[in-house]
Each structure stands twice: as structure tokens, then as C-alpha cells.
């Protein structure tokens, strides 16, 4: 049986790195939610870069580039990581370069070994679970966290994915962080937004008046796409069909 | 208002290090539970060392020395980290040198800055909370975890201590790991042992037939002592009186 593990921070990734496992990178508020949204709305490629300098270089070379730090769009860029920036005609069929506080860092941490990397969010959760079940490989959920610290929203996603993989698809787990995530998701699932009311990043975004973003990012299964990393670029898997639950 | 934060792994300590905060080191199964027990039963000093070599050196110089790795007593040592080894006449008034898989490592990680270090466990939880309230300083719970990974039992303790400090003594928290710990403790508190049934380290210890140790380590407030680190040695605070809850 394949197993599922959960890593709460990019800084701890080396403790969980294994060859031939599938790494699901998640940054619920908001990087990976924005990426999933972008592909669903027709973006062709996403190039995730770790630093603002890299994003600036790409921009100077004519790329559409997005940069977010601490919840805000950086000066010199038009877009950050609000999913609502990735729904329009202006991004359709484009390649977008993205750098964010935590999400793109997590992708870059994981890509230095031979694992396959997929992008997760509540928006594509059950599509992703179906696909992981088809692969039948060990899965690691890599939470982007907040500046290398644990955060609640990524943990809830990790718990939700663990629950589906373990209870629906018979995956195994010997990982305390997966167990904790499942307990927390069980407590939270009837109203994720309310559960997160006291969480640190939700408060941070609330100050920035991003309630609509939060509500959207906590919605289940509205984007039937699975982004994956291929030679430093994110693309979407060709087929993605959700079987009846 | 002082605040409480929780760090799930010694490897993440630097993200939480602050001058003038009190660090509570916890390794429920079993290092810090054994240390609290030892002081309650009359041990005079404990010298926590990070490596087996250091423990061997002390032993060669005539010290009583304890060494545990992966749940087992190491060859050449008579005692490991079972609390029941620290209750007899043979340890009374003695100085004991201890090295364990996770607990002593956490102490050594934290002692490299100027924070005060206290030793926590369920056995002295409310005594500790009272003392922290008297100090009125920021508190960091440093979970020893398992080989730098998150574990459930230390997180439950962190949640229990956070709950008392926040709800009884008006401490504040902006820390997602403290919030998660409180949720998990709330789910677990009626039967900690049952809640931990699937946890990784409880399974590990069960294989070694240490059920009695686990049951003991999950008992609340039976040891009215607070060990603290002073010049690389643990000693117990002179006074420790539990006020009515």
C-alpha cells in the first residue's frame, strides 16, 4: 500500500525527502490556489521562481510576471497571488512567472530531488486524490507554511487529502503530522472559514481586506485541473475527470 | 500581556528564538517526564548531554549515567529514560547524566541563547503554568519531537499548557501551532492514551512493552516540581505550590 506523509514546513523537507514519491505542494492562502485557478482559466505555463530578482528579470524580457510578499503585490508588478487576477482573458494562453512569500519557495525546495511535484489546493482536492490513487506511489504533502513556520490552512488541506487517500483509497500513514491534520480537518470541515478565524495568516489577509480571496480559496473541487512541474515549469495534466464520490 | 508560542521541532527553534522568553522543553515520551519524576523523587542534579560519548565520559569519571536511543537503554548503561528508573533510593541525592534521542537534544538547542529553560511534562503541568504566570514573560514551548519531526504527544502537552495560560491566566497567542495544539488537546483530553493509540511513538514504545511508562507519562500533576537549567545542569526550583484550580 502506498503511504501518505505530511511535512509542515519547507525547512523540514529534507527529513521527508524520498526518491520516487509524489510531492504535493500546497499554499492555500493563496499561491497554489491561484495557480490551480490560473490553469483552470486557460493559463498555458507558470514559471515559479524563488526570488523577486528572478521575476524582475523575466519581466524585463517581456514575460507576464507576478510578485507577492507578505500578502501584497510588489511595486513594479501588476499582479500578486490573488486567484481573481488569474481568471481573465489577459492571462489566457500565457506563460506567467510567479514569485510568492512561501508557495514558490516550497516548490523550489522540493524540485531539487527526483520527486514528481503536483500542485494542490481545496479547489482541486478530489481530482488530485483520484490522480494520486491512480499513480499508487507514496505521497508527501509539503505545506508551504508561513516563513518556514507551521500554518493552519495548509495543515487542514493536508488533513483533508490524507483522509480521502486513507479512507477512500486505502493509503497508509505512520506520520503524526498526517494524523494531526486529519483530526483538525474533521473539526473544521463544516466551516473552514470560521475554523480559521483566529489563524495568523487569515488575520493578516483580513487586514488587507481579502475576505473574498479567502472564501474562494476554501472552496472544494471547483477547478478540475492538476498542475505539475516539468523542467522548472508548471503545466496542467491533460486529462482530469472526477469520478462520482 | 505575555504571549505563548509553540515550536514543533528543535530544528525550527531558531525561527522562534527570542531574548528574555522562557523556553519550556517537553519530551513527553519519555525524557522530560523522567526528569520531572527524578527531581520529585529526590535526584539532586541532572546533566543533560547531547551525545552518547559525553555520557560515557561522565560515566568513566564515576557519574551515574543514563543513555537512551530509539526507545532502548544503550549498551554499557543501566538506565535509559523510563520514569520508573528514577524513583528509587539508588538515585536519591545523586547527580545523573542523561542523553536521550530527542529530549536532551532539545535542551541543548535552546541553551545556546539567553532564554531561561524549564522542563515540562503532564506530570507537572499546572505547577508549571502557575510559575509561568508568576514570571509574566513570553513563553515558548519547544517540543522535542521525534528526530526533528512533529509528534503528537508533545503537541498535546503544548496545547494543554497553552489552554491554561490563555484561558486561566490571560496570556495571548498569535501562533498557529499553539492554536492547533489546543484543538488537538481538546479532542484528546478525556483519554490521552486512547487518542495517541495511532501515534508513531506510542506504537514504537508499545512494541517495546512500555505501556506502563506511557500510562504514567500521561498523568496530570502528580509531581509538584519544576526543573530548570542553570549553568548546563538541571536543578529544581525551591518552591512549588499548586494553588487551587
**Interatomic CA distance for residues A86 and A213, integer angstroms:** 12
Between B70 and A132, name the one with better pLDDT.
Answer: A132
Verify whether the Cβ–Cβ distance B155 to A9 is below 8 Å.
Answer: no
Specify the fold of A4-229. Answer: putative 2-phosphosulfolactate phosphatase (3.90.1560)
**Minimum-distance CB partner of B179 among A11, A180, A198:** A198
pLDDT greater than 70 at residue B242: no
Verify whether the Cβ–Cβ distance B150 to A174 is below 8 Å.
Answer: no
Lowest mean pLDDT of A108-122, B17-31, B39-53, name the range: A108-122
Residue to mutate among A180, A185, A189, A195, with most B CBs inside 10 A, is A180
Predicted confidence (pLDDT) per residue in B175-187, tens digit: 999 999 999 999 9
Between A101 and A242, name the one with better pLDDT.
Answer: A101
Predicted confidence (pLDDT) per residue in A6-19, tens digit: 999 999 999 999 98
How confident is the model over B89-112, as a mean pLDDT?
92
Confidence of residue B244 (pLDDT cuts 50, 70, 90): very low
Percent of chain B, pLDDT > 70? 97
pTM of the model: 0.94
pLDDT greater than 60 at residue A244: no
Which chain B residues contact residue A152 at CB under 8 A?
176, 179-180
| DSSP codes joined into one string, A146-169 | BTTB--HHHHHHHHHHHHIIIIIT
pLDDT greater than 70 at residue B103: yes
Predicted confidence (pLDDT) per residue in A75-117, tens digit: 999 898 999 999 999 999 999 999 998 999 899 999 877 689 9
pLDDT greater than 80 at residue B117: yes
Percent of chain B, pLDDT > 90? 82
Average model confidence (pLDDT) across chain A: 93
**Interatomic CA distance for residues A139 and A5, integer angstroms:** 6
**Minimum-distance CB partner of B198 among A150, A179, A198:** A179
**Minimum-distance CB partner of B200 among A175, A184, A187:** A175
Sorted by where each begins, the domain ranges of chain A are 4-229
Between B171 and A204, name the one with better pLDDT.
Answer: B171
**Interatomic CA distance for residues A53 and A76, integer angstroms:** 12
**Interatomic CA distance for residues A164 and A93, integer angstroms:** 32
Average model confidence (pLDDT) across chain B: 93
pLDDT greater than 80 at residue A223: yes
Confidence of residue B239 (pLDDT cuts 50, 70, 90): low
pLDDT for res B198? 80
CB pairs under 8 A between A and B: 71
Residue to mutate among A176, A197, A205, with most B CBs inside 10 A, is A176
Strand order in the sheet with A227-230: A4-7, A139-143, A22-26, A116-120, A227-230, A233-236, A45-48, A95-99, A64-69, A72-73
pLDDT for res A245? 41
Confidence of residue B241 (pLDDT cuts 50, 70, 90): low
Place of cell 526518491: A19
Q: Which CATH number fits domain B4-236: 3.90.79.10, 3.90.1560.10, 3.30.830.10, 2.30.300.10?
A: 3.90.1560.10
pLDDT greater than 60 at residue B209: yes
Chain B residue closest in CA terms to A153: B176
Amino acid at each position: 500500500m502506498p503511504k501518505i506523509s505530511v511535512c509542515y514546513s519547507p525547512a523540514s523537507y529534507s527529513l521527508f525527502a524520498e526518491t520516487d514519491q509524489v510531492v504535493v505542494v500546497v499554499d492555500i492562502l493563496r499561491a497554489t490556489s491561484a495557480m490551480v485557478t490560473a490553469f483552470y482559466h486557460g493559463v498555458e505555463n507558470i514559471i515559479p521562481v524563488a526570488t523577486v530578482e528572478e521575476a524582475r528579470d523575466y519581466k524585463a524580457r517581456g514575460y507576464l510576471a507576478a510578485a507577492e510578499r507578505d500578502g501584497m503585490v510588489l511595486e513594479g508588478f501588476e499582479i500578486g497571488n490573488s486567484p481573481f487576477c488569474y481568471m481573465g482573458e489577459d492571462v489566457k494562453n500565457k506563460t506567467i512567472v510567479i514569485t510568492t512569500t512561501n508557495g514558490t519557495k516550497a516548490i523550489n525546495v522540493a524540485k531539487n530531488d527526483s520527486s514528481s511535484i503536483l500542485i494542490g489546493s481545496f479547489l482541486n482536492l478530489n481530482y488530485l486524490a483520484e490522480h494520486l490513487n491512480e499513480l499508487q506511489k507514496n505521497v508527501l504533502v509539503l505545506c508551504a507554511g508561513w516563513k518556514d513556520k507551521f500554518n493552519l490552512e495548509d495543515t487542514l488541506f493536508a488533513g483533508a487529502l490524507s483522509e480521502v487517500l486513507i479512507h477512500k483509497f486505502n493509503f497508509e500513514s505512520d506520520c503524526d503530522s498526517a494524523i494531526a491534520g486529519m483530526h483538525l480537518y474533521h473539526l473544521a470541515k463544516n466551516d473552514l472559514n470560521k475554523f480559521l478565524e483566529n489563524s495568523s495568516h487569515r488575520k493578516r489577509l483580513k487586514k488587507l481586506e481579502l475576505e473574498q480571496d479567502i472564501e474562494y480559496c476554501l472552496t472544494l473541487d471547483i477547478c478540475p485541473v492538476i498542475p505539475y512541474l516539468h523542467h522548472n515549469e508548471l503545466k496542467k495534466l491533460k486529462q482530469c475527470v472526477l469520478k462520482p464520490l
